[in-house]
Amino acid sequence: MKLISWNVNGIRACIDKGFLDFFNQEQPDIFAIQETKMQEGQKDIFIDGYTYYMNSAIKKGYSGTLIYVKEKPLSVNYGLIDGKYNDEGRVITLEYPDYYFITMYTPNSQNELKRLPYRLEYEEDLKAYLKTLNKPVIICGDLNVAHQEIDIKNPKGNERNAGFTIEERNAFSSLLNQGYIDTFRFLHPNDVKYSWWSYRMRAREKGIGWRIDYFLVSNELKDKIINADIYDKVLGSDHAPILLDISI
């Protein structure tokens, strides 16, 4: 099963930059999208052969998640427990017979870490929500954290910057310790590959990036992982799409 996730930094803009060409080339079973920056009805986003599920933020032009699927799920849930974080369109969960598929756009701690407490509250709510699920789980999305020093070009210079604070990194470790595997790092323990680059100072051209987009899977799916990769040459966003190929 071929799964792709991509923070498109605005789906309407990304469509104008080749999104559909990439989609049609890859033809994944599931394509998860973060930061849609779009409400329902603002643009026709139907793709032949796929059903889509969207969770938009109340604030226009902000956040939002979207999933395209070839096979319809048994059920769909928006947000975490009691729909929390639906005001920002952060999470979509699809239930299938043998697993759950979740896409999420984790809150950014922002400049001067002014939203770090909110971000850490989200992390705790996420772990609580995952404990309610009674099947193996596949999680994907922009998780807004570079977990280890290998995942960021300049670790020392970013120690108190959003996305690389010790608090965020420890929260990610805590999530993994709850029973999840970072699929890319599992298959490529020593590879340096990034999924996000600042638009400033020609960062992508210079290779100054961060790996903040992930596919995580429950430990019991470890032997089902076939491939995990980053399409770091694909343009259209400040993020690269990521891939998980899994036998499930």
Q: Which residues are catalytic?
A: 105, 142
Of the candidates 178, 189, 183, 196, the residue with the CA atom closest to the CA atom of residue 222:
183
What does the alpha-carbon distance between residue 238 and residue 236 come to, in Å, rounded to a whole number?
7
SS3 string, 129-154, reads HHCCCCCCEEEEEECCCCCCHHHECC
CB 101 within 8 A of CB 70: no
Tokens of 153: 């070009």
Beta bridge partners, 141, equal: 104, 214
Cα–Cα distance, 1 to 130 (Å, whole number): 22
Name the residue among 88, 22, 13 with its Cα closest to residue 243: 22
Q: Which residues, including other chains, have CB under 8 Å from residue 170's CB and lie 6 or more apart?
A: none
